[in-house]
Chain A
């Protein structure tokens, strides 16, 4: 079922990135940033709940069952969001690549032919507008900061670049969603995404990586081993104590 698959993609992107950002909790470089990163994580978790609850209704499962009882191969998030936090530069660059895309996607989904998707997207868009603003700000500060921060940002952009291609990939599910007016043409988001990158990278004194080889597979359930470790932590309680509640 394409709509189900599509909602898992939206929900899993938010859920896995939220879990990644949550790893910073208590380890942020300064208290203010620690709170800010976990705020973003909580925003994304709220979005994940809305998407997964909708997906669950289509198949008779609830959001918790989808989050806690699926194995890695059933997750539909893009590979970008499962990449490790690395140093702070990797976290910021990963977030900026994702937010710039996420913002464009949610703008399109705010006009979806599906009323429920329209509602969730409009709510999420406000949150993501702020995420993007914060992220772009950090990109410039660190890119155009010290010699060390600049080189760390350049490394991070280089390491993560190959995971950006998947964001714009149109497969059968995306095609069907775009044609029915529920989703959108991801390939068409590439140019506005690049335009944003060019502007921010220029201000940050960073170069956009030139490599063209792209890694993909997350959207159809082919993940790196990293997702397994994320799920081990995310799902431990429900796996060890099935049905446990707060």
Chain B
């Protein structure tokens, strides 16, 4: 049972305060159940988490770095998409 036979899993942890799961890192495990166990031991030892998700790394479809131009550059020239042109009234707190 060598490590190379175990698939890689991506681990997502929901922290004590946060609302969304965040990518914590990856690890090797033979199946989903042990991936959760391993994630508990590797990524929540310092009280970081209240919930764990794992997903096989091969099941993640990623954007390609070579497509960076067409995918992301057009957004750079559209500052009006940022809601920074509004004046926030003084009465509005916690925005």
Give A8 to B42 CA distance when docked, in angstroms: 31
Q: Are B29 and A32 in contact (CB under 8 A)?
A: yes
Contact between chains at B37 and A30 (CB < 8 Å): no
Whether A137 pairs with B34 at a CB distance below 8 angstroms is: yes
User: Could you tell me if A30 and B28 are in contact, using CB atoms closer than 8 angstroms?
Assistant: yes
Is B1 within 8 A of A32, CB to CB?
no
A243 lies within 8 A of chain B by Cβ: no
Q: Which residues of B contact A39 (CB under 8 A)?
A: 41, 45
Chain A residues lying within 8 Å of B1, measured Cβ to Cβ, are 29, 145-146, 149
Given contacts A30-B28, A141-B30, contact A36 B3 (CB under 8 A): no
- B34–chain A nearest beta-carbon distance, Å: 7
| Contact (Cβ within 8 A) B41 A36 | yes
Given A30-B6, A30-B28, A32-B27: A137 in contact with B38 (beta carbons within 8 A): no
Contact residues of A between 30 and 47, Cβ < 8 Å to B: 30-33, 35-36, 39
Which single member of A29, A35, A141 contacts B42 (CB below 8 Å)? A35
CA of A30 to CA of B8 in the docked complex: distance in angstroms?
A: 13
A134 contacts partner chain B, Cβ-Cβ < 8 Å: yes
A32 touches B30 (CB 8 A): no
Residues 14-44 of B, flagged 1 when their CB comes within 8 A of A and 0 if not, give 0000000000000111100110011011100
Q: Which residues of B contact A145 (CB under 8 A)?
A: 1
Given the known interface contacts A30-B6, A30-B28, the answer about A36 and B38 at a Cβ–Cβ threshold of 8 Å is: yes
Q: What is the size, in residues, of chain B's interface with A at 8 Å between Cβ atoms?
A: 15
Q: What interface size band does chain A fall in? A: 10 to 19
Contact A32 B33 (CB under 8 A): no
DSSP class of A's interface residues: helix, strand, loop or mixed?
Answer: helix
Tell which of A32, A134, A141 touches B28, judged by Cβ atoms closer than 8 Å. Answer: A32
- Contact residues in B for A29 (Cβ distance below 8 Å): 1
Q: How far is the CA of A31 from the CA of B28 in the complex (A)?
A: 9
CB distance from A151 to the nearest CB of B (A): 14
Q: State how many angstroms separate the Cβ of A28 from the closest Cβ of chain B.
A: 11
State the Cβ distance, B75 to closest chain A Cβ, in Å.
39
Cα A158 to Cα B42 in complex, Å, equals 32
B3 vs chain A, min Cβ distance (A): 5
A82 to chain B, nearest CB (A): 25
The answer to whether A36 touches B37 (Cβ under 8 A) is yes
Instruction: Report whether B3 and A137 are in contact in the complex, using a CB–CB cutoff of 8 Å.
Output: no
Residues of B within 8 A of A33 (CB): 38
A29 to B29 alpha-carbon distance, docked (Å): 12
Task: Give the CA-CA distance A149 to B6 in the complex, in Å.
Answer: 16
Nearest CB in chain B: distance from A217 CB, A: 34
Give 10 CB contacts A-B under 8 Å: A30-B3, A30-B28, A31-B27, A32-B38, A32-B41, A32-B42, A35-B45, A36-B42, A39-B45, A137-B33
Q: 11 additional contacts, CB 8 Å, given A31-B3, A31-B28, A36-B38?
A: A30-B6, A30-B28, A35-B45, A36-B42, A39-B41, A39-B45, A133-B37, A134-B37, A137-B33, A145-B1, A146-B1
